Structure 1
């Protein structure tokens, strides 16, 4: 790093700011410095009209020139250190002059430009040289020594160039950034078409390169320096007026700022802004600031009369350090987890700082959650955390977050320490941990003894009893766990039964289980009926009719085949608990005692059920009597008589209905053809007024006519079918029957058909297709049945 001062001295510093070399080539303030690409030579100029080319490691090719006017700018050829580069450099006064090495070590000067004012800034990159005068910025191709572009000054003329100087920067050999006053331009060097066919006559004399402005915008601040940062621009800014946003934060808007901008067409977007802490900034103007940059290292140097500030993009480590200094530990931890370029910090290091902060401020809940995030699978760190939380009596906060053996398992003593602390301080928390932690993590018997000691002082502690039941379950003492759950009336007993297959104990404790949750108990009993026999359940529930009803009802619905022997009990239970289910049971089941069921129904005055039972037992007369006297349902009575089709029942029904006109009408309307209507009509008392009698008689006549029509039609169909079948039988019997040559006579076992004309005789063929010689049949009798078939019939009859 090379720095020129107002006293004409030049200081050579390393990147840490340590002085390496110093020399005093000038007597007035140094106006500009430049170096070659290799860093071997330094060019400086001053108002004392001197231009000095100083070798840092050799005196060869060093020069000390005196101009005829103050020198404002100088530029070294980037390849000045190379022997055959011509050792060129450019000096800017009121004119721009190129100096290059001639024969015998002499310098040859060439005026590149004059008459446009003093050259206030100058930069050389590759083959292109850019300098700024009061009229604008010129770019020259140093290979051809021709100006390829003039960028005219377009900002306000009210900004004098000596107070608002131009600033030039070459990010690469084809890009130029110009910052001047309150305007910024980004330019690209383009090459003209090399195809002669596309060049017009006027373009033949133009230089091969030209400069194109790709971005141009005006700022709300004065530009004190420019530089590139990836795709963005870094601008050293000086506010034009008071910045209210900074003033609200107590920051003087006259402080210089480093702004990162994204260039756009005619405008820009501000990415970031940093206020610089410069000493005596109140006394400085834009001309007092200068910006240089190392593009490859992404470092920027802000130079002012009393300070040199090194700026670089903030790294993730810088951000984390700043966050930690300002107690923003959560954001720092999130950053170190998401960023891959962090070098000085790890999740553990930042997390431990955050953990210390939380513990110091009493935020134990957040600290416990943080342990899961930062300690990972480090057993030692977890045990240290347990000790630390135990020291502040906050193990109950840490307990939900301890590792439970998945990838890491702590010593059993650690888990036991936590459990004992919870046992003494937080019983609900103790229960939760016992339920969540596997039993293999700690000595369960040791914890059980501790719980029993605590329960000895407080025997009615339901929370500890529940925890004790869970602990007993962990060591397979399920009978004790079941007894405790039943004592507590806790529904976890069903989970215990299903998990450890304790169905054999259900029948013994079925009453307690039904009291706790009847639905769950019934599900278990019906699903595991091979383990829980219904006889034992019924015996246990016999003193609890309501529970017995629920069990037998569920058994009847789900396992009807297993419930048959309990239908007699179910009849009585249905009669008391749910009458709507009684009648369907009576109608569909045949496994109950009819006499007992009838006695149950009569004792409870269940008339409908009694009627069905009497009818089923064959006592239809008493059933009819109950229907007529108790239910007074004539239609039901008629249905009963139709079902039995008993004349005695009909007579009893008619006798009962003779003095009841409504019953007579219903009888006439519904008897149909089951009985003779005259049995009713002739017995109706004279003078009895029967509503609807005419319609009933008309219906009887219509039904009778319909019956006669049906009978006549059926008789006609029957006669026709008989005639057809008879004709078919006669024609079948009269049809010829074939007799083949190999047919044998069953009587003589000879062929039926003769072999010669002399043996020819009569043949008899029966309907069964057996053929006989007529002579072989018994004389004097007419055979209607084949002798062979008749013997078979006799044999079958005797065998049967």
Structure 2
């Protein structure tokens, strides 16, 4: 007997095909599992002496503290009921289950049928030695057992009918036909080295040998038309329908002591078979051949290949397919594997092992394996079973219902139920380890999916534990963000937690989440929050007043507190705006204009402003003088869209100086604002002889010109009169004022330039020649605006003009410069004309290449589009004779 291969390559080379359907190896690997860890966390499954340990987060051997333990994936429960008394003097040797009950075979030859609580349903005693295999048919109508006495007994669950089949050698395995209720067929194997198919015909029992092998047949598994079997030297698959082998492969599962291990065969689905023995796991895929037409008499309809070979460092004691939550149940990809950690078998051989004196064994482990990854171990738990120190791998087995995610770990004296942890278990574990946020996620998911959970694990309770934890770690923002989800619409919870946040100075964090409707809290809560912000954060207080509905708090009492605060901070804009909102809510007036001005100018509602202004009349002048007019007027101008200027002017009646300051500031801000008041502003500007009058006359278009002229004349405002006369069109009178009353020839000349009127220049000369001091300025502006010859002719003979020589020289030089400039301009124009003419002549004399694709330069259409039209050439190009010039 050869030793097992040491590498995946040896596994591939040692697998040989035999029979009609050779096995094809496509992928294999040998991955060593991690060493058995020191356990640190216990989960009680039955009593104080039998515990479950998880390897996640275990401490080191020296006792130092390790990483935080990971959440276990499985939940373990010991079956009690009648089992403890039944197994007190007996031991389980085989087991099977369906979705209704368990069938346990014992070493004393009994078969016990118990429910999932361990209560005895039925008991059979038909074997004289240990029961090697127990099997239940698909309809849960029959239970079959095979024993070392070479007997197979099939019993009905609903009658006293028993069917016994005798074999010559001890049996190791048994499988009923999936359709046993109709066919009455089953397959057996054992020490005879034969896989036998048995059934009952009208002639009596019939046995057909499907395969003969060297050694013992260790396991048989039946799925559909396929029977898989394993021996000490390999595996084989038989097609019952075609009555021929699919494949036989020599896979070296065996070791020097094969009697220490049980071979396990489990179908994951109709195409995948998982085989485990000793320390190896093999996944075999059987598929229908992709060929056209039926197979020949020498061919089978199936082909097999090995998908996965996994070799661990420990010994397999049983396994079952595991359906992962959230995935399709009929295609599991995670294998549940149970294995004990026994001592090295090489040490057993050196110590001369015998069945009489067994070595001490470690507890078995329950492991979730994902065979599709390079790191297959998903979860690992150590299970402290009764008398485990005296048990070997052959003493354990695993049975299960993958569709129900229900599994049973079988040992001689214990039956442990293994199930996936439900939402309650997950929440409980996470709360115990203070993973409150993860616990809340599970609780919320369970609620969304309609999964029943215990009241103390609902989101509202778990969430409050999370809030407490976050507050203890000063994570106020995160805690506040979770409040709407955790507290929901419970006003009492909201009120309690708002006070908790307030005690920790966390109102800023929870404020955006505080509900103002559905639910509405007690008004005291809102008033406490407003009082806090009124004393600590004026901007926050204003935002709350603007955002919260007025029904949430007592406006009158809040306004009283606000007025007290305004006495200390009268210029705070946020407090003023908040007061405006509150005064608008209760529709009250103010006691003085300053109160109105410092508050009402911030009112954003014109209706509210109008209501406030009409509620009282104020002593405007006294208050403006007392508190400073400039700042108040500036605010009034800024809020002119809300506070009508007419109302403000009316309130300022009796104080024209303030009216003047307000209207002038309003005009400077926007010349088109309050046009009906600009007449009044004109009167005020004239009255106060403001320097702004001329600018007002130039910018404004809303005052009457005749009234402006009369006011300027009555107050002898000459410059303003000149501007108004110019707008009226009375230029001659304006010129008289400038020449006679203002005695300003330069202003008169500039005025004449601006008007561009020849008659006005003549009038100017008429006025100027009468005063010799005006002659020199006139001579300086001859040329463009005034003919110097005419001006010289108007000068009286013998008149004395100062600096005449230089003035005449300047006039002559200007004339010469103009003549020279005109001559040069004429020369440039002449050169441009000649150049253009030469280019045109050259273009007209040059030839043109015209084809049918050439386009008319005038209409843009190709000549070929209408060949009947005559074509003409000119200096611009070819065009239709009928096309007009563009």
Query: So what's the TM-score if we normalise by structure 1?
Result: 0.66
292-301 or 253-262: which moved more? Answer: 253-262
Answering whether residue 673 of structure 2 is matched by residue 558 of structure 1, we say yes
| Residue 273, structure 1, aligned to residue 371, structure 2 | no
1-side partners of 2:637 and 2:587: how far apart? 25
Residues 217, 671 of structure 1: CA spacing in aligned structure 2 closer, same or farther, 3 A cutoff? farther
Q: Which residue of 2 aligns with 1:688?
A: 805
Determine the structure 2 residue equivalent to 1:293. 400
Paired position in structure 1 for 2:850: none
Aligned residue for 1:655?
772
Once residues 764 and 258 of structure 2 are traced to their aligned partners in structure 1, the CA distance between those partners, rounded to angstroms, is 138
- Aligned pair partner of 1:109 in 195, 207, 212: 207
Question: Hey, what does 2:235 align to over in structure 1?
Answer: 137
Residue of 189, 192, 198 corresponding to 1:99? 198
Are the counterparts in 1 of residues 268 and 321 from structure 2 also a CA contact under 8 Å?
Answer: yes
- Quickly say closer, same or farther: Cα 1:499–1:260, change in 2 above 3 A: farther
Higher helix content, 1 or 2: 1
Q: Which residue of 2 aligns with 1:122?
A: 220
Distance apart, 1:530 and its partner CA: 8.9
**What residue is the counterpart of 1:147 in the other structure?**
245
Partner in structure 2 of residue 184 of structure 1: 282
Change (3 A) 1:458 1:151: same
1:205 pairs with 2:298: yes
Structure 1 residue 120 displacement after superposition: 1.4
Superposed CA deviations along residues 674-730 of structure 1, whole A, max 9, x for unmatched, are: 9455336976679723443323445899999xxxxxxxxxxxxxxxxxxxxxxxxxx
Say if 1:294 and 1:669 are closer, same or farther in 2 by CA, change over 3 A: closer
Aligned length: 665
SS at match of 2:230: strand
Aligned equivalents of 2:155, 2:751: Cα separation in 1: 134
Q: Does 1:12 align with 2:129?
A: no
Q: Quick check: 2:196–2:209 contact (8 Å CA) kept in 1?
A: yes
Q: 2:266 maps to which residue?
A: 169
1:646 to 763, 780, 784: 763
2:835 paired residue number: none
Aligned with residue 349 of structure 1, among 458, 462, 486: 458
Quick check: 2:364–2:384 contact (8 Å CA) kept in 1?
yes
State the alpha-carbon separation in 2 of the partners of residues 611 and 5 from structure 1: 131
Q: Per-residue displacement from partner, 1:596-645 (whole Å, max 9, x unpaired)?
A: 5579897xxxx976864687792524524799869689655666785353
| Cα displacement (A) at 1:671 | 0.4
CA contact (8 A) 2:398 2:408 kept: yes
Q: Which 10-residue stretch deviates more, 644-653 or 10-19?
A: 644-653
Contact 1:190 1:211 in 2 (8 A): yes
Alignment correspondent of 1:567: 682
> Which residue pairs with 1:323 in the alignment?
430
Match of 2:30 in 1: none
Q: 1:478 is matched with which residue?
A: 588
Name the counterpart of 1:525: 640
Q: Residue 123 of structure 1 contacts residue 130 of structure 1 at CA under 8 Å; is this kept in 2?
A: yes
The residue that corresponds to 1:438 in the other structure is 549
Say yes or no: does 1:225 pair with 2:327: no
Task: Summarize the Cα distance change of 1:468–1:150 in structure 2 as closer, same or farther, 3 Å threshold.
Answer: same
1:112 CA displacement: 1.9
Selected match of 1:623 from 727, 734, 738: 738
Shift of 1:399: 7.4
Q: Which secondary structure does the structure 2 equivalent of 1:671 belong to? A: coil
Q: Deviations over 1:185-222 (max 9, x none)?
A: 242442676736xx6xxx33324x31444844546666
Q: Matches of 2:388 and 2:697 in 1, distance apart?
A: 104
Structure 1 position 147, deviation (Å): 2.0
In 2, the alpha carbon distance for the partners of 1:353 and 1:302 equals: 33
1:235 Cα deviation after fit:
1.8
1:416-463 deviations in Å (ceiling 9; x for gaps): 465268648974589465554423345545x46xx7489789964779
CA contact (8 A) 1:73 1:119 kept: yes
Ranges in structure 1 where 5+ consecutive residues have no aligned partner: 243-252, 705-800
TM-score (norm 2): 0.60
Bigger mean CA offset, 228-237 vs 424-433: 424-433
Moved more, 4-13 or 389-398: 389-398
After TM superposition, give the deviation of residue 356 of structure 1 in Å. Answer: 5.4
Q: Tell me the distance in 1 between the aligned counterparts of 2:514 and 2:297.
A: 82
Q: CA deviation at 1:320?
A: 3.4
Rate the CA distance shift 1:167–1:628 in 2: closer, same or farther, 3 A.
Answer: farther
Aligned-partner Cα distance in 2 for 1:594–1:552: 20
Q: With a CA cutoff of 8 Å and minimum separation of 6, indicate the structure with the bigger relative contact order.
A: 2
- Provide closer, same or farther for how the CA distance between residues 89 and 647 of structure 1 changes in structure 2, counting only shifts above 3 A: closer
Contact 2:321/2:335 (<8 A) preserved: yes
1:108 is displaced (CA, Å) by 3.2
1:394-413 matched pairs, under 5 angstroms: 397=507, 401=513, 403-404=515-516, 406-409=517-520
Q: Are 1:677 and 1:700, in contact at CA under 8 Å, matched by a contact in 2?
A: no
How far apart, in 2, do the equivalents of 1:400 and 1:353 lie? 22
Question: What are the superposed Cα offsets for residues 496-536 of structure 1, whole Å, 9 maximum, x if unpaired?
Answer: 65556537449967968986676763365357749737555
- The CA distance in 2 between the partners of 1:679 and 1:563, in whole Å, is 47
The secondary structure found in structure 1 opposite 2:196 is: strand
* Cα distance in structure 2, aligned partners of 1:87 and 1:543: 117
* Aligned position for 2:444: 337
Query: Which residue of the partner structure matches residue 162 of structure 2?
Result: 61
Largest Rg, 1 or 2: 1
Aligned mates of 1:71, 1:546 — CA distance in 2:
119
Query: What's the secondary structure of 1:386's corresponding residue?
Result: helix
Give, in whole Å, the separation in 1 of the partners of 2:770 and 2:701: 25
Partner of 1:671: 786
1:415 matched residue in structure 2: 523
**Correspondent of 1:235 among 335, 355, 360:** 335
- Distance in 2, matches of 1:135 and 1:190, equals 26
